[in-house]
Amino acid sequence: MPDDRIQRIQLLYDLTFQTPFHCGTGLRSGLIDRTIVRDAEGYLYVPGSTIKGALRMHCEWLAQLYAGADEDMRERINSPHEMKKALWSMGNRFTMITRIFGSQQHPGLLFFDDARQSEQEKQQYDGKERDDKGRYQRLQTDLYTQVRLHRPTRTSVDGALYTSEFGIKDFTFKGGITGWLKCTPVEVLDNEPSYSLLLLLAGLHMLDRLGSNRSTGKGRCSCNITELHFNGNTYTKTQWQPWLDHLDILSDYSSSGGDDEDDDRLDMEEV
């Protein structure tokens, strides 16, 4: 049996955009066809679901890479949006991916918070008087007029002119991931992080684009992990960053027994 341990995780990070970005609502407002998400007070934020989806894509790519010649493992590392593979994998063993993000049978136990502006960031968009509040919030966004292209001919489509909102560049948001991970610890590394935690940290480092219009250079970002807590302890960057120099250890996940099928539901009495 694998030595699976339940690790209580709290991870905080800063998400900074180097280019304009668009996390859309799917709604229009007046002459703006594609609006950007805001909270109830009118401040921009990045939905946790957007971060989770992009992060899963990077983690899947890394897990596939380090699965190497293990074709069975590569087949089991699949996106939930691939219907046939998702059905085929029902009842199969757990992978590093499903331990982080959950599966159709077992929901994940990590919670991806929305990334929001700090109070200091918000203040620069507030007026000095109550009646002025909201006037400067428009400075959070720019408007871009775009046209939809007919790809085979590379010409514009008649009547397909639209206007989109984009958050301005150099925006920084603060986000967090909290919850539990149940996975096999990597005993050869200091402080014994689990395979899934190592994969999660590497995926966050790879996060480089979020939102729509990425093919046109929008949404370029970087993620800087500011705090890491697990097993009841706090780890500094100098303590956990060296783990990323040993990502090849992820290829040992199968041989460690870490993917054996077991009851992955968290027993709250163990925490």
**Six-digit token pair at 98?**
């499903």
d(C-alpha 271, C-alpha 268), whole Å: 5
Burial classification of residue 175, based on how many CB atoms lie within 10 Å of its CB (0-12 exposed, 13-18 middle, 19 or more buried): buried
d(C-alpha 193, C-alpha 234), whole Å: 12
Residue 90: the pLDDT is 57
Residue 68: the pLDDT is 62
- Mapping DSSP to helix (H, G, I), strand (E, B) and coil, where does residue 39 land? coil
Q: Tell me the per-residue pLDDT of 89-120, one tens digit each, with 9 for 90 and over.
A: 555 567 888 889 987 777 889 999 999 999 98
Residue 129: the pLDDT is 43
Residue 158: the pLDDT is 75
Residue 176: the pLDDT is 97
Give the H or E element holding residue 16: strand 5-17
Residue 21: the pLDDT is 96
Q: Spell out the per-residue pLDDT of the chain, length 271, in tens.
A: 345 688 899 999 999 999 999 999 988 888 888 999 999 989 999 999 999 999 999 998 998 888 765 555 556 566 555 656 555 555 556 788 888 998 777 788 999 999 999 998 888 877 544 444 456 788 899 998 877 777 777 777 776 788 999 999 999 999 999 999 988 899 899 988 999 999 999 999 999 999 988 888 899 999 999 999 998 899 999 999 999 999 999 988 865 545 544 444 444 444 4
Residue 94: the pLDDT is 73
Residue 69: the pLDDT is 55
Residue 255: the pLDDT is 53
**CA–CA distances in Å: residue 148 to residues 21, 39, 111, 118, 210:** 18, 29, 36, 36, 21
15 in Cβ contact with 116 (< 8 Å): no
